[in-house]
Amino acid sequence: MSKIIVAATPVAGHTGPLLRIAGHLSGLGHEVVFLGGARFAAQVAAEGCRFQALPAAADFDDRDFAASFPERELVPAGPARLGWDAMHIFGDPAPVQLAALHELLVSFPATVAIHDSLFLGGAALALGRKPGDRPAVVAIGTFPVMVGSRDTAPFGPGLPPPVDETERAQYAALAGQFAERGRPVTEYVRQCFAAAGVELPAGERPRVLTEAADHFLQLTVPGFEYPRSDLPANVRFIGALPIPASKGDRLPSWWPELEQAGAQGRKVVVVTQGTVANGDLTALVVPTLRALAGREDLLVIAATARHDGEQLLAAELPQLPANARAAGYVPFDALLPHADVLVSNGGYGGVHTALGHGVPLVIAAESEDKPEVAARVAWSGTGINLRTGRPSTEDLAAAVDEVLGRPSYRRRALALCAELARHRAPAAIADLVDEIG
């Protein structure tokens, strides 16, 4: 059995997948130490792993970005905020992350270090020491592939791949503009690595960071990622991680109604804003409930993913529509088999969970990597991209009707479901650990 370090940025969307990986490897008998945010200590213990907290200088509470990073709120969503995040959320902690890894390796001489791909201390470890003098470094891609390519548009605005040489040339010019605007970001990240005593190689930043790892395992399948003839050789698609099965979770009182909806000829629409951007339910949950109100042919489930979600929803919508039901936390592995469409803000993990159940999507996204996720939903034919994080009720109603009324969306979602089923991400990671030895 191997000694393994698993390290994650202290953000739920990054930590969650790495926790599942750590738990799977621990369950196989490997000795695993999880290096992560303090708020996840209990979850790490539940996975049977030893927990090591990140130093305070590299830790923060992602449930309140405004408190941890007040300057971030002044940066507009889109490329500007992606650049700010690259510098301050992911770049600034890199020296502290690397120091924490070095300190941990003194007492725990791991043969494998697994990290989410934006835990830049992992890339610094790979670049700063020769393979024989460090663990094998395995990066996990928990968001769409960022690496630039002659076969895609620049990452960020959610543009589909080029359809002809004219568009390819336009994208190449746009990529040049993006590279010039992103030069200060790259230089800032380079200085963060220098502060850690590591030289960041020249080149496109996402490609350099991707190629730094000995192995880069992307949590998706080829059917959900744009083809690239120049993808780095160390990248491999391994499928999505299954969400943990619910263990005796208490189901809402309206659950029997959900189970009977299909037999009654009603379609089930689930709406969620995920587990992070769910503080303002007027962005997507409330307008979806209003858009579909009065529809006796639909049962609409608002999954707020918050303990106080029903109270937040009631503050904005005191009277739920007659066809709507709401809940705080609800087990998605039990909910999605009943769903006919998921309305979502485009979280990478949540979209893959829906596709893993063959559920087509309506995506309303505008922040972080979510526009790129939404673009891939549209490109793969598994749903509709509304191209905004605050859609109108009219657009929401039309999109839900389009997905429910056109069988191709369900067929494509089922095809992705089958492709995901053919990839067993936990087994692929465990096999790689065994190969490394």
Q: Is the pLDDT of residue 179 over 70?
A: yes
Identify the CA nearest to 115 among candidates 150, 83, 93, 141: 141
For residue 75, count CB atoms less than 10 angstroms from its CB and return exposed for 0-12, middle for 13-18, buried for 19 or more: middle
Listed range (186-200, 224-238, 245-259) with the worst mean pLDDT: 245-259
The per-residue pLDDT for 320 is 92
Is the Cβ–Cβ distance between 19 and 60 less than 8 Å?
no
User: In which band, very low, low, confident or very high, does the pLDDT at 120 lie, cut at 50, 70 and 90?
Assistant: very high
The Cβ of residue 1 has, within 10 Å, a number of other Cβ atoms equal to: 11
E-strand ranges in 81-158 read 112-116, 136-141
> How many angstroms separate the Cα of 271 from the Cα of each of 190, 275, 305, 394?
40, 12, 11, 16
Identify the CA nearest to 142 among candidates 434, 383, 425: 425
Stated as kind and residue range, the H or E segment containing 405 is helix 393-405
E-strand ranges in 2-105 read 3-7, 31-36, 50-53
Distance, in Å, from the CA atom of 342 to the CA atom of 273, rounded to the nearest integer, reads 11
* Average pLDDT for 339-345: 96
pLDDT by residue (tens digit) across 79-90? Answer: 788 889 999 999
pLDDT by residue (tens digit) across 278-322? Answer: 678 888 999 999 999 989 999 999 988 778 778 877 788 888 999
* Average pLDDT for 196-209: 94
């499928």: which residue's tokens? 239
The dihedral over CA atoms of 292, 296, 302, 307, expressed in degrees to the nearest 10, equals 140
Residue 119 DSSP label: -
CA 180 to chain centre: 27
Is the Cβ–Cβ distance between 362 and 342 less than 8 Å?
yes
The per-residue pLDDT for 111 is 97
Structure tokens at 122: 């992992």
The per-residue pLDDT for 235 is 98
The per-residue pLDDT for 328 is 84
The per-residue pLDDT for 23 is 96
Q: Is the pLDDT of residue 397 over 70?
A: yes
The per-residue pLDDT for 229 is 95
The residue among 238 and 318 whose pLDDT is bigger is 238
Residue type, 298: L
pLDDT by residue (tens digit) across 351-370? Answer: 999 999 999 999 999 878 89
The per-residue pLDDT for 278 is 66
Stated as kind and residue range, the H or E segment containing 223 is none
pTM: 0.92
* Average pLDDT for 11-36: 95
Shared fold status for 3-237 and 255-421: yes
Quick one: CATH architecture of 3-237?
A: 3-Layer(aba) Sandwich (3.40)
pLDDT by residue (tens digit) across 205-215? Answer: 999 999 999 99
Q: Is the pLDDT of residue 248 over 70?
A: no
Looking at the domain 255-421, which fold is it?
A: Rossmann fold (3.40.50)
Sorted by where each begins, the domain ranges of the chain are: 3-237, 255-421
Handedness of CA 210, 213, 218, 219 (dihedral sign): negative
Angle CA 413–415–421, to nearest 5 = 105
Helix (DSSP H) and strand (DSSP E) numbers for the chain: 18, 13
Residue type, 122: G
The per-residue pLDDT for 125 is 98
Distance, in Å, from the CA atom of 347 to the CA atom of 276, rounded to the nearest integer, reads 9
The residue among 100 and 61 whose pLDDT is bigger is 100
User: In which band, very low, low, confident or very high, does the pLDDT at 62 lie, cut at 50, 70 and 90?
Assistant: confident
* Average pLDDT for 165-179: 92
Supply the mean pLDDT for the chain: 93
Identify the CA nearest to 218 among candidates 423, 10, 358: 423
Listed range (137-151, 210-224, 242-256) with the worst mean pLDDT: 242-256
CB within 8 Å of 372: residues ≥ 6 apart: 143, 144, 155, 156, 158
Is the Cβ–Cβ distance between 403 and 361 less than 8 Å?
yes
Distance, in Å, from the CA atom of 143 to the CA atom of 368, rounded to the nearest integer, reads 10
User: In which band, very low, low, confident or very high, does the pLDDT at 197 lie, cut at 50, 70 and 90?
Assistant: very high
Helices 183-195 and 165-181, axial angle in degrees (round to 10): 50
Structure tokens at 318: 């005191």
């790689």: which residue's tokens? 432
Identify the CA nearest to 141 among candidates 240, 214, 51, 242: 240
Q: What percent of the chain has pLDDT over 70?
A: 98
